[in-house]
Chain A
Amino acid sequence: MIFQKKASHFVIAVLFLVGGLAPFALRQYQVAMLTEIIFFALYAVSYNLLLGYAGLLSFGHAMFFGTGAFTAAVALVCIPGISIWSDIFLAVLMAILVGLVVGSLLLRTKGAYFALLTLAFNSLFYVVATKWSSVTGGDDGLSITRPNISIGSITIQLAGITSFYYFTLVIIGMAIVFCWYFTHTAMGRTVLLIRENEERMNFLGYNTHISRLLLFVFTGAAAGLAGAFYSLHFQFVSISAISVDMTTTVLLMAFVGGTGTFWGPILGTFVYIIVQSYLSDLTDHWPLFMGLIFVFMVLVMPGGLSQIIQKIPGVFSGKSGDEPGDRVVTEETIL
């Protein structure tokens, strides 16, 4: 396992600490890039709850991300003076609604049908976003201005790169920590048990369709939150936010990092964003190279980067403090 339970607390603390200090050591454009890494990491983590934990291959995660991104942007345009909290809340709410509607329609599907139907729904959302240009801005996209935070009489400026970075670190950071916590909750374990043996779960009193729906909605809400930060960060949103490309992006991030662990996709996002920014400076054909890297990864190390790290003995692993001798697959491969 990449991080043991106690070690996970430590890693979370270190990540927040490093994240808190990073702006002092980085240039502005790097701080902006780190902001991007953080909300994309939530996007990838939420995706991996479907793929790695529940074993559900979805090609439709961008419909949540895009819904969050567009809702946040459209609300800022249409509701003058809306607070950033209400804006984010609306974005997540819309993602939840999308999850409930689409999820109910996909309730009984799994495997290839599930993958294809999510792809179809994502394409549908993309078409709607393109055609509904009076609201979404169509091909031109929507420009917005990030609002400030006001708590009572105190106002925190969010216009600056660094202040928005800290806002992202706290809010998205907490969301990622909650996702990690989720994997230990009753629901988190249920999802995993269903992946292992859905039939037996039925005979133990679990409604597995409802479980999948709940997970779908939850991961959708998290992706929607990430999408809202995407809009707020770039102060711009275009239909690429809801395109199938955006789904491919999250698939790549998760795969590069490794879907067998909780933290893998975060690592994957980090590497993905940095490599992408590096490549796109060098060549316009960067998607081609990203594609080649992906093919290479899948062929050579299907477990992703975290698999390599796991193989370096003693780097991250120690003896588990909580459950001695517990060699459960879920603790082993998915923590």
Chain B
Amino acid sequence: MTDCLEIIDVYKDYSGLAVLSGVQFTVKRKERHAVIGPNGAGKTTLFNIISGKFRASSGTIRFKGQDISRKSAYALNRLGISRSFQITNVFQELSVFENIRSGVRSRYGLRYHFLRKPDSNARINERTAAIAENLGLKDVLHVPVSALSYGQQRALEIGIALSTDPDLILLDEPTAGMTREETVQAIETIDRVTAGLTLIIIEHDMDVVFSLADTISVLHYGKILISGAPDIIRSDQRVKDAYLGEDHL
């Protein structure tokens, strides 16, 4: 079984508004998979369904062969699915360290203990520091998030997603709001820190997408227009018409 994630005929409507109508694609293990599509295409909605924020109106999602369509967010995380958010969604008042540690200790099973202190668990604290260092947040470890630059906050967003040691990581426009150079930089970091994981990324910058991804799925009007290797996507006439400007080709 090499498929990590299978999305089978997923529909989603918000009280009448059909957002996804029969989405279907698979993501192989360790694949770098990009989801592209115009604004409002339903990309974030798709992530919300995979990660358990919402349930699909119908359809099935399988993770490593197991049907996960009805599981809640916390259960999916424990199975190995983690996500980041398009709009930074962290613990604003807390330090970078405590932000990342929240996920690390969850992974180590230290969630609800009434006696054990995270402070005195060396393995958890080391792992937390390592993740922060990997994302260039070492110098701001004990700084509250509200005092970070935007770029650092975006890095932390990824750090938190990584903190539970997922097998599958979903990154929703990690470079949103960044300049071209920052984007290229950020993508390099993402490629490095997610090495060995299955990655699904939503990204608008086409050059970045074509250089990073092994497989690209194009979401258009609630359906996957096409899913395949960058070369195939690049030369597909429907994609050209629907989404890519001629200047990209």
> Which A residues lie at the B interface, using CB under 8 A?
182, 184-187, 189-190, 193, 196-197, 199-208, 210-211, 214, 218, 322-330
Q: Is the CB of A203 within 8 A of B116?
A: no
> Which B residues lie at the A interface, using CB under 8 A?
51-53, 72-74, 77-78, 82-83, 89-95, 97-98, 102-103, 105-107, 110-119, 142-144, 160, 163-164
B116 to A, closest residue via Cβ? A186
Residues of B within 8 A of A210 (CB): 112
B77 to A, closest residue via Cβ? A205
Q: Is the CB of B95 within 8 A of A204?
A: no
With contact pairs A197-B91, A204-B77, A330-B94 given, residues A185 and B115 touching in the complex (Cβ less than 8 Å): yes
Q: What are 10 A-B contacts defined by CB distance under 8 Å?
A: A185-B114, A186-B113, A187-B113, A189-B102, A199-B53, A202-B52, A203-B83, A206-B111, A211-B111, A328-B95
Q: Is the CB of B74 within 8 A of A196?
A: no
The residue among B82, B83, B106, B112 with the most chain A CB atoms within 10 A of its own CB is: B112
B83 to A, closest residue via Cβ? A203
> Once the chains are docked, how many angstroms separate the CA of A330 from the CA of B52?
29
- How many inter-chain residue pairs (CB < 8 Å) link A and B? 108
With contact pairs A186-B116, A189-B98 given, residues A206 and B106 touching in the complex (Cβ less than 8 Å): yes
The residue among A193, A197, A205 with the most chain B CB atoms within 10 A of its own CB is: A205
Residues of A within 8 A of B113 (CB): 185-187
With contact pairs A184-B117, A196-B93 given, residues A203 and B73 touching in the complex (Cβ less than 8 Å): yes
> Once the chains are docked, how many angstroms separate the CA of A185 from the CA of B112?
8
Classify the secondary structure of A's interface with B. Answer: helix
B107 to A, closest residue via Cβ? A205
Q: Is the CB of B163 within 8 A of A214?
A: no
Q: Is the CB of A186 within 8 A of B163?
A: no
Select one of A203, A206, A208, A325 contacting B82, CB under 8 A.
A203
A200 to B, closest residue via Cβ? B89
With contact pairs A190-B112, A193-B94 given, residues A205 and B78 touching in the complex (Cβ less than 8 Å): yes
Residues of B within 8 A of A214 (CB): 112
> Once the chains are docked, how many angstroms separate the CA of A193 from the CA of B53?
18
> Once the chains are docked, how many angstroms separate the CA of A202 from the CA of B18?
26
B140 to chain A, nearest CB (A): 10
> Once the chains are docked, how many angstroms separate the CA of A186 from the CA of B110?
6
> Once the chains are docked, how many angstroms separate the CA of A110 from the CA of B74?
19
With contact pairs A205-B78, A328-B98 given, residues A323 and B114 touching in the complex (Cβ less than 8 Å): no
Q: Is the CB of B160 within 8 A of A204?
A: yes
> Once the chains are docked, how many angstroms separate the CA of A200 from the CA of B102?
10
Per CB-CB distance, the 8 closest pairs between chain A and chain B, nearest first, are A329-B93, A205-B77, A186-B113, A205-B106, A202-B73, A204-B103, A196-B91, A326-B142
Residues of B within 8 A of A202 (CB): 52, 72-74, 77
Residues of B within 8 A of A201 (CB): 74, 102
Q: Is the CB of B112 within 8 A of A327?
A: no
Q: Is the CB of A186 within 8 A of B77?
A: no
Q: Is the CB of B111 within 8 A of A196?
A: no
Select one of B94, B110, B114, B119 contacting A196, CB under 8 A.
B94
Residues of A within 8 A of B53 (CB): 199, 203
B142 to chain A, nearest CB (A): 5
A179 to chain B, nearest CB (A): 11
B109 to chain A, nearest CB (A): 9
B92 to chain A, nearest CB (A): 7
A192 to chain B, nearest CB (A): 8
